[in-house]
A and B are shown apart, each in its own frame.
Chain A
Amino acid sequence: MDMPMPTEPAVLAATTPSPEAAARRRMRLAKLRPLALATLAIAAFLAAWQAASATHLDFFLRFDNIPAPSIVFARAVAVVPSADFLNDVIVSCERVFLGFVLAALAAVPTGLVIGRYPIAHELVFPLCEILRPVPAIAWVPISIMLWPTDFQSIVFITFLGAFFPILLNTLLGMRRVDPVLVLAARSLGAGEGAIFREVYLPGAMPAIFTGLAVGMGVGWVSVIAAEMISGQSGIGYFTWAAYSLIQYPDIVLGMVAIGLLGLVSSAAIRGLGRLAMPWLATQ
């Protein structure tokens, strides 16, 4: 697998390529290396897991109930296209999306305003600092009592999880805006509204997008945990129910689905960030 290529010198000798061609070949190989190494590590992980499950390894760690990757894969082929599974995925996406968008709509303007006006900071920030250390999951019982429906209480928990990272990063972004840019804008006739729109918002935007990416991650953590505790549907519920119903392959399937959804979400945020901040693409 990882053998040094014994045929390489022979090929080189046979065609006697120019040094440039050899350099190009080296470049191509260098580009392939990260992909090859990543594949190698993933394959080794799956192989070790498969071996441990197949042999029912029981050495402190107990693999006798852990389904092998091959079994998970076979189960995925059967379950993934089913309407129930798809419904669970869609419900979770809706909750995350709604909670996240509401959090962004609330946290970004709040961050911009309290970053600009000390009086707003003095009013709002201490309250935030009290609420922030409470993990979103700890809100589950209160949230169930507070909101009429399951769906609303889970969206609320997702909202709480996403809100604070977005708020704090927006504030951080505001602090990083170079004061000379604000002076420049004022001396060019910009009023307060224009300074927000043209200076503070774009200036804070890189940090805001960092906050959105973190907020999206925490949003997924919150929705999964909330669904496991209180849900009747969703991919978190699916994963926990699989444990209760002794459908062990479905647990892993749920985990993989959650991982993939998180991956796609953060890729979407990064893509949006690139579209919203074309000036960073030139660096």
Chain B
Amino acid sequence: MRDSGLIEIDHFGLDYASDGAPIAAVADVSITVRPGEFVSIVGPSGCGKSSLLNAVAGFVPATRGRVAVDGVAITRPGADRGMVFQQYSLFPWKTVRQNVEFGLKMKGVGAGTRERMARTLLSLAGLIGFEDQYPDRLSGGMKQRVGIVRALATGPKVLLLDEPFGALDAQTRQIMQQILTNIWQRLGISVLFVTHDIDEAIFLSDRVYVMTARPGRIKAEVPITLPRPREVDGMMTADFLALRAELAGLIREESLRAMGGELAGGLAGLDVMLRDGELADLL
């Protein structure tokens, strides 16, 4: 497909500072995204999947291991990696078009070229007619589409998305997933996508990595061989449901492990209360 856009995460580890010894957020993760591939990372909350993405974006340095795109180690943020955030991150003081042109402006691209490139991308995301609106006037789905288009405008080698559709309703989510698939297929760009939504990961991806509870490790790597183009109806097929059950089982184990301590403690307390009749008195 393409000869650039290879993401290599090699024995990556990330600690964060605390009062005592540093706490490991990510233990030892190795992930590869091949050029043009769509790869998702799923896992229980707090497993460090967003930290992983932030390391590829260059926002946080690796404590251990190495992150590289096309063989070049990541040391800082840059326009060669497009980033789409979970929360809306459009500049409120810029119109849709100015938001999309921002990266090009930073590169020193002339106004005429910027406008032409912005128009092309906006049409790809179905946003023609909204160029001169301020983000305030857009729906959540439109804001995230502009966010995706903005990240793509500089022609990055890879696109990184951190639960971009988390705040959207189910219907809008599905439409956004199809728009993203469409854009990805046309541009042939490598995508690393973080989500906690299993259906979303299966629907979009070529491969899905499942992470363990903190400190995050790779628990499993699941290839998604469902044929493309994938339709929303395809989410009811036996193959899809089997993948779904497999991934859900893997994540469930980790979620339980993540809150295992509290849960066990709480249940033990409940037993004591029942034996002593306290709860019965209350009822």
Task: Give the complex CA separation of A282 and B132 in angstroms.
Answer: 12
Q: Determine whether B150 belongs to the interface, using a CB cutoff of 8 Å to chain A.
A: yes
CB of B79 within 8 A of CB of A181, answer no
Question: What's the Cα separation between A222 and B91 when bound, in Å?
Answer: 38
Q: A180-B87, A183-B85, A202-B91 are in contact. Are A189 and B134 (CB under 8 A)?
A: no
A180 in complex: contacting residue of B79, B89, B107, B133, CB < 8 Å: B89
Cβ contacts B214-230/A at 8 Å (1 or 0 each): 00000000000000000
Q: A-facing mask of B75-99, CB < 8 A → 1, else 0?
A: 0111101110101010111100000
| A181 and B77 form a contact (CB under 8 A) | no
A277 to B93, CA, bound (A): 7
Within 8 Å of chain B (Cβ to Cβ): is A283? yes
Contact between B103 and A189 (Cβ–Cβ < 8 Å)? yes
- B102 to chain A: closest residue by CB: A188
Interface residues of A in 197-241 (CB under 8 A from B): 198-199, 202-203, 205
Q: Which residue of the partner chain, among B59, B136, B150, contacts A279 with CB atoms under 8 Å?
A: B136
Which of A185, A187, A188, A283 is the most central at the interface, judged by chain B CB atoms within 10 Å of its CB? A187
Asked if residues A279 and B102 are in contact (CB atoms below 8 Å), the reply is: no
A186 within 8 A of B: yes
Decide yes or no: A187 and B136 within 8 Å by CB, A202-B91, A279-B93 being known contacts. no
In the bound complex, do residue A181 and residue B137 qualify as a contact, i.e. CB atoms below 8 Å apart?
no
Q: Which residues of the partner chain A approach B245 to less than 8 Å between Cβ atoms?
A: none
Of the residues A181, A190, A277, A283, contact of B106 by C-beta under 8 Å: A190
The minimal Cβ–Cβ distance linking A244 to chain B, given in whole angstroms, is 51
Q: A183-B59, A282-B134, A283-B136 are in contact. Are A188 and B154 (CB under 8 A)?
A: yes
CA distance A277 to B94 in the complex (A): 10
A277 to B92, CA, bound (A): 10
Q: Which residues from chain B contact A178 at a C-beta distance below 8 Å? A: 89
| Among A181, A189, A202, residue most surrounded by chain B Cβ atoms (within 10 Å) | A189
B141 at the interface (CB under 8 A from A): no
CA distance A188 to B150 in the complex (A): 8
Chain A positions within 8 Å of B76 at CB level: 186
| A277 CB contacts on chain B under 8 angstroms | 93
Contact B102 A183 (CB under 8 A): no
Complex Cα gap A186–B58 (Å):
9
Tell me if B191 is interfacial: C-beta within 8 Å of chain A. Answer: no
Interface size on A, residues (CB 8 A): 23
Q: With an 8 A cutoff between CB atoms, is B57 at the interface?
A: yes
Chain A residues near B107 (CB-CB < 8 A)? 189
Q: Does the CB pair A189–B83 fall under 8 Å?
A: no
Residues from chain A with a CB closer than 8 A to the CB of B134 are: 278-279, 282
**CB distance B91 to A187 under 8 Å?**
no
| Contact across chains for A184 and B136 when beta carbons are under 8 A apart | no
Q: Which of A185, A194, A205 has the most CB of B within 10 A?
A: A185
A194 CA / B93 CA spacing, docked (Å): 15
- Whole-angstrom distance from the CB of A181 to the nearest CB of chain B? 6
Q: How far is the CB of A85 from chain B (nearest CB, A)?
A: 43
Q: Which residue on A lies nearest to B81, using beta carbons?
A: A187
Given A180-B87, A194-B106, A283-B136, verify A187-B58 contact (CB < 8 Å): yes
* Contact residues in A for B79 (Cβ distance below 8 Å): 187-189
State in angstroms the CA–CA spacing of A235 and B113 once bound together.
56
Would A184 and B154 be within 8 Å (CB), given that A198-B102, A279-B93, A283-B136 are in contact? Answer: no
Judge whether B102 and A185 touch: CB under 8 Å: yes
What A residues does B154 contact at CB under 8 A?
A: 188-189
**What distance in Å separates the Cβ of B75 from its nearest Cβ neighbour in chain A?**
13
CB pair A181 B58 closer than 8 Å: no
Chain A contacts to B: CB under 8 angstroms: 178, 180-181, 183-191, 194, 198-199, 202-203, 205, 277-279, 282-283
Residues of B within 8 A of A (CB): 57-59, 76-79, 81-83, 85, 87, 89, 91-94, 102-103, 106-107, 133-134, 136-137, 150-151, 154
Name 16 extra pairs, CB < 8 A, besides A188-B151, A189-B79.
Answer: A180-B85, A180-B87, A181-B89, A181-B91, A183-B85, A184-B85, A184-B91, A187-B57, A187-B59, A187-B82, A188-B150, A189-B103, A189-B154, A190-B102, A191-B106, A282-B133
